[in-house]
Chains A and B, each alone.
Chain A
Amino acid sequence: MARQEMARILQNECIALDTYSLWLDCPALAREAQPGQFVHVLCGEKTLRRPISICHADALLGRITLVYAVHGEGTAWLSRCLRGQQLDVLGPLGNGFPVLEKPARLLVVGGGIGVPPLLDCSLRCGAKSVDAVLGFRTQAQCILEAEFERKCASVTICTEDGSYGVPGRVTAPMEALLQQGGYSAVYACGPVPMLNAVVQTVAKYGVPCQISLEERMGCGVGACLVCAAKIRRTGTEDYLRVCKEGPVFNAEEVVFE
């Protein structure tokens, strides 16, 4: 159930170039959040809330962690918020990553600010072991490496400019892992060109793939039909709601345009 909570900021710190980690005290929301879901955050006087994926929800401590990039006025406002301040958040919202039917090997592939929601996936989707391939533009934008290291059997970091880890994009290291076989699912989140490449590569290996999409959003609860993603189901193409049927979709159904 979605709720509106006034969440106290426990911490809001810069963890990489233009990237912040925000801890919020919101027990009810933290209890219900599933991996891959998001919260809709009111940013000052802005008309539209900002959808931000949940990086980690801790039901015991009653808090959630959001990792967000400063893109515009809303997220810039958010980055200036201080510990102790209250934030108006709606959530948990959307359809997250599915829990695996039986414990098996999971491959998570993230790009840039698409990396954070995959952390909870690695922790809470019932995988026996997780390998992570995380891509960034440059070393200064690399995030959450230590957190993934703690939970994953292997973590491969790639940078497009070669400043850290494996030079280049995520596709080649991901394909090397897929060739070894044994994965029961691939979960991915990142920019559309990356997702498109990931989906095409994963398809060659016949592994089921789930991807999390991003779109400019309005209400966040499914009412306004603004955040449309083209989805092919039972032969017909339809615009489904990223905030409701998504953000996580079965990769086979997503129509890249």
Chain B
Amino acid sequence: MNLLNVSLCGVDFKNPVITASGTYGFGKDYTDFFPLERLGGISCKGMTLLPRLGNPPPRIAETASGILNSVGLQNPGVAHFIREDLPWLLAQNTVAIANAAGSTLEDYVQNVEQLAQSGVHMIELNISCPNVREGGVAFGTSCANVEKTVMAVKKVCGAKPLIVKLSPNVTSIVEIARAAESAGADALSLINTITGMKIDVETHRPILRNNTGGLSGAAVLPVAVRMVWEVRRAVSLPIIGMGGVTKWQDAAELILAGADAIQIGTACFTNPMAPLEIIDGLEAWAERECCGNISELSGQVRAW
């Protein structure tokens, strides 16, 4: 029996480790390091209906145990993705998750309409990008907007499971999670990056040309664990936890807090082998815990 098999919304993953959107391209850039079929899944770079140039550089700054980025959803557009990148990814024997973003509700709907007719296995709705002027996080920070967006998108999703990716930059992520659930989301993924800023004290300039960016990396893990734990108690949807996972113990914390699967992002910049090391570590952990399958450990934190 495979300890790491998990099933989310009817989609089978060989393990619960997925590479996070925006950090792994479409997978192709990392094939030199290990076969992608080792991964549970790949969440692709966020796509918009039309191509986007992205923000001017610098787009990255290093912080204590983390990074700030402000890429700004640079992408070739969803049609290009489906035509040029997806066929290759679908041949890699791993779950392919498309990440869909937009600036207007109509953008989101048309974007997801195209993805629904493509070969992707799941769609992750990005209503939490902090680095674009219009749309992005604006759709994910009020319950009314979340409900409206998820409902509209769900209508055109067809049989594809819809994961809604939540922003941590909100007063109550639990309320947002409930809104997504009631609007028809099939799963939730959290957390996207936390808005931040870094200033060069010599030049008085922010390092990022966009002034602000999204914080990720080890620094954000405790925030992610807390939010997954809170959301787990409030909704019954499957949860994909992410934020600062760099080693298997971090992934295990998210699982104990209530995640059914996890995503890895920034850690791959430091160590391209991080996903495999985390998969191996989780397997040994599940074995030590004497469970038949890792999903039995989800939500098993013994909270005080």
Residues of chain A touching chain B, judged by Cβ–Cβ distance below 8 Å, are 1-4, 42, 46-49, 74, 88, 90, 215-230, 237-239, 244, 257
Are A2 and B32 within 8 A (Cβ)?
yes
- Residue among B30, B57, B59 making CB contact with A223, cutoff 8 Å: B30
Per-residue A-contact encoding for B272-285, CB less than 8 Å = 1, 0 else: 11000000000000
What chain B residues lie within 8 Å of A220 (beta carbons)?
269
Per-residue A-contact encoding for B13-44, CB less than 8 Å = 1, 0 else: 00000000011110001101100000000000
Are A225 and B32 within 8 A (Cβ)?
no
What chain B residues lie within 8 Å of A2 (beta carbons)?
32-33
What chain A residues lie within 8 Å of B53 (beta carbons)?
237-239
Whether A219 contacts B29 in the complex (CB less than 8 A), given A48-B67, A48-B269, comes out as yes
Per-residue A-contact encoding for B50-88, CB less than 8 Å = 1, 0 else: 000110111111100111010100100000000000000
Shortest Cβ distance from B271 into chain A, in angstroms? Answer: 8
Shortest Cβ distance from A237 into chain B, in angstroms? Answer: 8
- Residue among A46, A215, A225 making CB contact with B54, cutoff 8 Å: A225
Chain B: CB-nearest residue to A229: B57
Whether A217 contacts B54 in the complex (CB less than 8 A), given A224-B71, A226-B69, A244-B29, comes out as no
Shortest Cβ distance from A256 into chain B, in angstroms? Answer: 12
| Pairs A–B under 8 Å by Cβ, sample size 13 | A47-B67, A47-B270, A48-B67, A48-B269, A216-B58, A217-B60, A221-B32, A224-B22, A225-B25, A225-B71, A228-B71, A229-B57, A239-B57
A229 to B53, CA, bound (A): 11
A3-B32, A220-B269 known; 16 new pairs, CB 8 Å cut-off, are A1-B32, A4-B33, A46-B270, A47-B66, A47-B266, A48-B269, A215-B57, A218-B69, A221-B29, A223-B29, A224-B25, A224-B60, A224-B69, A224-B71, A225-B22, A228-B57
A74 to B25, CA, bound (A): 26
What chain A residues lie within 8 Å of B45 (beta carbons)?
225
Chain A: CB-nearest residue to B74: A225
A229 to B61, CA, bound (A): 16
B120 at the interface (CB under 8 A from A): no
Are B57 and A42 within 8 A (Cβ)?
no
Residues of chain B touching chain A, judged by Cβ–Cβ distance below 8 Å, are 22-25, 29-30, 32-33, 45, 53-54, 56-62, 65-67, 69, 71, 74, 207, 217-218, 266, 268-273
- Residue among B57, B58, B60, B272 making CB contact with A90, cutoff 8 Å: B272
Are B30 and A48 within 8 A (Cβ)?
no
Are B57 and A219 within 8 A (Cβ)?
no
Are A239 and B29 within 8 A (Cβ)?
no
- Residue among B33, B59, B67 making CB contact with A228, cutoff 8 Å: B59
Are A224 and B61 within 8 A (Cβ)?
no
Whether A47 contacts B71 in the complex (CB less than 8 A), given A216-B58, A239-B54, comes out as no
The 9 closest A-B pairs by CB, nearest first: A223-B25, A222-B29, A223-B29, A226-B60, A216-B58, A2-B32, A228-B57, A226-B59, A221-B29
Chain B CB within 10 Å, residue with most, of A3, A215, A218: A218
Shortest Cβ distance from B201 into chain A, in angstroms? Answer: 13
Are A46 and B62 within 8 A (Cβ)?
yes
What chain B residues lie within 8 Å of A215 (beta carbons)?
57-58
Shortest Cβ distance from B206 into chain A, in angstroms? Answer: 13
What chain A residues lie within 8 Å of B207 (beta carbons)?
216
Are A49 and B54 within 8 A (Cβ)?
no
A3 to B218, CA, bound (A): 24
Are B270 and A222 within 8 A (Cβ)?
no
A237 to B56, CA, bound (A): 12
Are A216 and B66 within 8 A (Cβ)?
no
Whether A224 contacts B23 in the complex (CB less than 8 A), given A48-B62, A218-B69, A244-B29, comes out as yes
A74 to B32, CA, bound (A): 25
Are B22 and A47 within 8 A (Cβ)?
no
Chain A: CB-nearest residue to B218: A47
What chain A residues lie within 8 Å of B57 (beta carbons)?
215-216, 226-229, 239
Are B272 and A221 within 8 A (Cβ)?
yes
Chain B: CB-nearest residue to A2: B32
Are B270 and A48 within 8 A (Cβ)?
yes
A36 to B23, CA, bound (A): 25
Are A42 and B74 within 8 A (Cβ)?
no
A46 to B61, CA, bound (A): 12
Are B268 and A219 within 8 A (Cβ)?
yes
Whether A216 contacts B60 in the complex (CB less than 8 A), given A4-B272, A224-B23, comes out as yes
Shortest Cβ distance from A7 into chain B, in angstroms? Answer: 15
Are B59 and A216 within 8 A (Cβ)?
yes
Shortest Cβ distance from A213 into chain B, in angstroms? Answer: 10
Chain A: CB-nearest residue to B73: A225
Chain B CB within 10 Å, residue with most, of A47, A219, A237: A47
Chain A: CB-nearest residue to B207: A216
What chain A residues lie within 8 Å of B33 (beta carbons)?
2-4
Shortest Cβ distance from A145 into chain B, in angstroms? Answer: 30
Whether A42 contacts B60 in the complex (CB less than 8 A), given A223-B30, A238-B53, comes out as no
